Structure 1
Amino acid sequence: MQADEFRAHGHRLIEWIIDYHSRVESLPVESTVAPGEIAALLPEHPGEPDGFEALFADLDRVVVPGLTNWQHPGFFAWFPANTTYPAILAELVSAGLGVQGMSWATSPAVTEVETRMMDWMIDLLGLPDAFRSTSEAGGGVIQGSASEATLTSILAARWRATEGAVNIDSDTTRLVAYATSQAHSSVEKGLRIAGIGTDHLRVVPHDENFAMRPDALADLIAADRAAGLVPFWVCATVGTTNSLAIDPVRAVAEVARAEGVWLHVDAAMAGIATLCPELRWLNEGVELADSYGTNPHKWMGITFDCNLFYTADRISLLGALSILPEYLRTAAAEAGAVIDYRDWQVPLGRRFRALKLWFTLRTDGVAPAQAMIRDHVAWTQQLAEWVADDDRFEVLAPHPLNLLCLALRDGDEATAALISAANATGQVLFTRTVLDGRVVLRFSIGARTTRMADVRDGWALLQRLAS
């Protein structure tokens, strides 16, 4: 493909993307294809190139039918993965530049724009100054996902707990971590990858709101110390996947600090809500955390993937992840004049993810995201009132933000059948979870395109199907 073809095809693809967004509401929210159906439309082996026209046609013939349409206004499943036009354009620029930002020297702009964007987001989210790049020991980096942020925090905490002795001969068998049963699955995965293991994850009891009990955390830590073990890491969640439960970060942090345990705050979903100043109660106690992560690629409209990971202890982070072969040495880095973000993450290579934030903040600012967040929170409260007025249903968890967990009083089988029946219509998509043994329908209001009418229609559909 030459430049003139690229220009023509690029313009056409931009139009296709615009058309997709304009018609996504008319598509089923969830793909209806059977397993293997998409693969059957593709040759088993590569053949001769058949040109862009054939490829372009297959976007609609092969790809779109196999999509779950996350940008659909009836998408009430999991949590959102919103995208916006500025972020899409930034992804195009990043791909077009084709640079690799593993260190400052490999493209100074990649590093310095990212550092500035991480500091901008501290201002916009009301996060503590200890996370700023200009602070004595903190700083931030864009990770791919909250799972990567969680793993990175575990590795930094392991380094600090072992005083830097993390080579193959080091004894990490006594390290113990803590989280509730409501914490994200990435906690268990991260502990496996870090060599700690699931057996050394203590499940901290939660209260009636599905939030961590700090007294139970303190008791578990005391018991482990008495057994000769080394508590080293605890995860407090601000917005669990199951119910959007919010752990009492300040009280958990006080226990962690008293015991010398690293505290990671996983605010993947809910943290972005603090773009709205009235929701900054979600930041309560975060200034006591050793690390923190939240995802603009959920509720802010920054195209996946973009996790903001901050730490107040970059020495432990760099100690855990810095490896410096001769071919990566630079005078600027050795003088401490620059940041090499390869040492702040597990992979070596890095894309120019910061462009998505820069483009969005420079063109749209935060007002559209703030308005969307405020709408979604208000609509969730309205939905809760509707559910309370229908005695066939009950709400099973607090709902201060944009997720309502509800169930039929007739029992688990009825709730599970309702979820399946609603999703089968193609008009909406809900996901199920289990809260203290109860099957729950998660009504997650987070898609950028969702309107109050869509929420009302989704609830009306549930009422009809429950009749």
Structure 2
Amino acid sequence: MTPEEFRRHGRQVVDWIADYLSTIEKHPVRAQVAPGQVRAMLPAHPPEHGEPYETVLADLDRVILPGITHWQHPDFFAYFPANASGPAILGELLSAGLGVQGMVWATSPACTELETVVVDWLAELLGLPERFRTDSAGGGVIQDSASSAALVAVLAALHRAGGGKVAADGIAGRYAIYVSSQTHSALEKAGRIAGIGARGVRVVDVDPETLEMDPGHLRTLLEADLAEGVVPALVCATIGTTSTTAVDPVRRIGEVCREHGVWLHVDAAYAGVAAICPELRWINDGVSEYADSYATNPHKWLLTNFDCGLLWVADRRPVVEALSILPEFLRNAASESGEVIDYRDWQIPLGRRFRALKLWSVIRWYGAEGLRAHLRTGIELARHFAGLVAADPDFEVREHHPFGLVCFRPARASDEETLALMERVNASGALYLSHTKVNGQVLLRMAIGAPATTADHVTAAWHTLRQAYGEP
């Protein structure tokens, strides 16, 4: 493809995306295809000869689009938002066009240094401690997701708990990490990958009403493990759990971790960005004093398309020491000078894309004021929906909804009837919900945060639910 051909087809693609985003409400929210239907419409074998790009775009409309569940749809409420915005899409395009492989500083200095700037910018916007800045002993890095951030944190914590020997010798002793029933499954997976195994993952009790981790039970588990010769490596506290957006008492958990010298990782994948709003800065209580690592995902609620997850650490040394392997082909004068950051040592893969461009684009386009407005809109719409549910005697709402998620259910319905209601509204294509379980009871999840969602969409979604509830 010549530059002129790229220019022509690139304009077609940008026009296609703009048309898609401006007409997205014409599509049913959830894909209306059966398993295997998309594959059956595609050739079984690759083409022998190249095809005009117009045919690719034609098949995008004919084959691919019917099989898309539209995450940017204003009536998509099933999961936490996966925001895509104009400046983020353009930043991603620039990253793809440059084709940078930013594994070390020397392979593209701007890739590394722009990343150090945007992670420091976001740390400032969130009110995170100075020790998380890249010009301190710690620093930040862009990962693909909070799952990768959790794995990096577990490896660094194991390295520290093992006195620097784990990376070289493996899991020679017995180690454990501590989560609650509400912690994301990524932490258990990280334990498996790191070699701890599922049996090394301890589950701390939660308050039955708030679903917050119980610091008292955490202390009991830590002390029992220490008595048995098990080394506690990491505790994960969550700010905004996936199920209900419960917020663990980070300060009290941190105090327990400090007593026993255990790494505290704070998973704020969804809700962490809310701290850009001063009135929500309460979610950071205890982070500055106690967190060894902290993760949040701009690709959820901060208008930055997937993938873009941020991880900050208070001390970079355990991360770099745990993950750094230096083959001869990567040796260079800049790295050996000690004056630069090589982000390959802060993540699992060697290679890395220029993700900082899209986050940089978003922060510059919206500014702090625009980002706060987006977050506050989602929160206000969630309050609006919760008010509609609470006013109806046939429904009940779970009272904890400080962010963009509302959990609710028909007041007198069985779990089977609640799930059947969800399936009816999802099958209609008018909106898309998901569910969770709290204390053995099914709740429906209404997650609000798409940039295109308005109060009219939320009100219409409630009317659709209310009408479907009355159906046999």
Map Cα deviations across residues 316-366 of structure 1 (whole Å, 9 max, x no partner). Answer: 001110011111112222221000000000000010000012112222223
Q: Which secondary structure does the structure 1 equivalent of 2:367 belong to?
A: coil
Whole-Å separation in 2 of the counterparts to 1:458 and 1:380? 12
Percent of aligned positions that are identical: 53
Q: Does 1:17 align with 2:17?
A: yes
Q: Is the 8 A contact 1:142 1:306 kept in 2?
A: yes
TM-score computed with the length of structure 2 as normaliser: 0.97
Q: Is the 8 A contact 1:172 1:196 kept in 2?
A: no
Alignment CA distance shift 1:171-1:84 (3 Å): closer
Q: Does 1:334 align with 2:339?
A: no
Whole-Å separation in 1 of the counterparts to 2:121 and 2:171? 40
Q: Does 1:226 align with 2:227?
A: yes
Whole-Å separation in 2 of the counterparts to 1:104 and 1:309? 19
Q: Is the 8 A contact 1:245 1:398 kept in 2?
A: yes
Deviation for aligned residue 1:170: 3.9
Out of 96-105 and 49-58, give the one that drifted further. 49-58
Residue equivalent to 1:187: 187
Whole-Å separation in 1 of the counterparts to 2:253 and 2:172? 24
Q: Is the 8 A contact 2:167 2:322 kept in 1?
A: no
1:425 aligns with one of 423, 428, 453: 428
Q: Which secondary structure does the structure 1 equivalent of 2:166 belong to?
A: coil
The amino acid that maps onto 2:383 is Q
Deviation for aligned residue 1:416: 0.4
Deviation for aligned residue 1:167: 4.8
The amino acid that maps onto 2:346 is W
1:396 aligns with one of 375, 398, 403: 398
Residue equivalent to 2:165: 165
Q: Is the 8 A contact 1:204 1:212 kept in 2?
A: yes
Q: Does 1:154 align with 2:147?
A: no
Q: Which secondary structure does the structure 2 equivalent of 1:365 belong to?
A: helix
Q: Does 1:406 align with 2:408?
A: yes
Map Cα deviations across residues 235-260 of structure 1 (whole Å, 9 max, x no partner). Answer: 00001110011101111111111111
The amino acid that maps onto 2:390 is A
Q: Is the 8 A contact 1:209 1:397 kept in 2?
A: no
Out of 319-328 and 43-52, give the one that drifted further. 43-52
Whole-Å separation in 1 of the counterparts to 2:301 and 2:235? 25
Q: Which secondary structure does the structure 1 equivalent of 2:421 belong to?
A: helix
Deviation for aligned residue 1:173: 4.3
Whole-Å separation in 2 of the counterparts to 1:154 and 1:39? 39
Q: Is the 8 A contact 1:77 1:443 kept in 2?
A: yes
Q: Does 1:415 align with 2:434?
A: no
The amino acid that maps onto 1:156 is A
The amino acid that maps onto 2:415 is D
- The alignment of Structure 1 onto Structure 2 pairs a total of residues equal to 466
Whole-Å separation in 2 of the counterparts to 1:33 and 1:411? 29
The amino acid that maps onto 2:275 is T
Deviation for aligned residue 1:367: 2.5
Whole-Å separation in 1 of the counterparts to 2:398 and 2:202? 25
The amino acid that maps onto 1:358 is W
Out of 203-212 and 391-400, give the one that drifted further. 391-400
Q: Which secondary structure does the structure 2 equivalent of 1:364 belong to?
A: helix
1:246-395 equivalent positions in 2, closer than 5 A = 246-287=247-288, 288-395=290-397
Q: Is the 8 A contact 2:150 2:187 kept in 1?
A: yes
Residue equivalent to 1:133: 134
1:441 aligns with one of 439, 444, 459: 444
Map Cα deviations across residues 142-179 of structure 1 (whole Å, 9 max, x no partner). Answer: 00000000000000001001111125644444101101
Residue equivalent to 2:119: 118
Residue equivalent to 1:215: 216
1:73-112 equivalent positions in 2, closer than 5 A = 73-112=74-113
Residue equivalent to 1:42: 42
Q: Does 1:460 align with 2:456?
A: no
Whole-Å separation in 2 of the counterparts to 1:53 and 1:269? 38
Whole-Å separation in 1 of the counterparts to 2:451 and 2:237? 27
Whole-Å separation in 2 of the counterparts to 1:93 and 1:142? 17
TM-score computed with the length of structure 1 as normaliser: 0.98
Q: Which secondary structure does the structure 1 equivalent of 2:9 belong to?
A: helix
The amino acid that maps onto 1:148 is S
Whole-Å separation in 2 of the counterparts to 1:365 and 1:63? 35
Deviation for aligned residue 1:194: 0.3
Residue equivalent to 1:143: 143
List gaps (5 residues or longer) in structure 2: none
Alignment CA distance shift 1:35-1:226 (3 Å): same
Deviation for aligned residue 1:385: 2.0
Whole-Å separation in 1 of the counterparts to 2:177 and 2:124? 31
Whole-Å separation in 2 of the counterparts to 1:170 and 1:307? 27
Whole-Å separation in 2 of the counterparts to 1:168 and 1:300? 38
Q: Which secondary structure does the structure 1 equivalent of 2:235 belong to?
A: strand
Whole-Å separation in 1 of the counterparts to 2:330 and 2:247? 42
Alignment CA distance shift 1:230-1:277 (3 Å): same
After the TM superposition, which segments of 4 or more aligned residues of structure 1 sit over 6 Å from their partners?
none
Q: Which secondary structure does the structure 2 equivalent of 1:366 belong to?
A: helix
Whole-Å separation in 1 of the counterparts to 2:278 and 2:313? 22
Residue equivalent to 2:70: 69
The amino acid that maps onto 1:339 is I
Deviation for aligned residue 1:227: 1.6
Whole-Å separation in 2 of the counterparts to 1:361 and 1:404? 27
Q: Is the 8 A contact 1:157 1:262 kept in 2?
A: yes
Map Cα deviations across residues 90-122 of structure 1 (whole Å, 9 max, x no partner). Answer: 111111111100000000000000001111111
Q: Is the 8 A contact 1:173 1:196 kept in 2?
A: no
State the superposition RMSD in angstroms: 1.1
Q: Which secondary structure does the structure 1 equivalent of 2:349 belong to?
A: coil
Deviation for aligned residue 1:378: 1.6
Residue equivalent to 1:6: 6
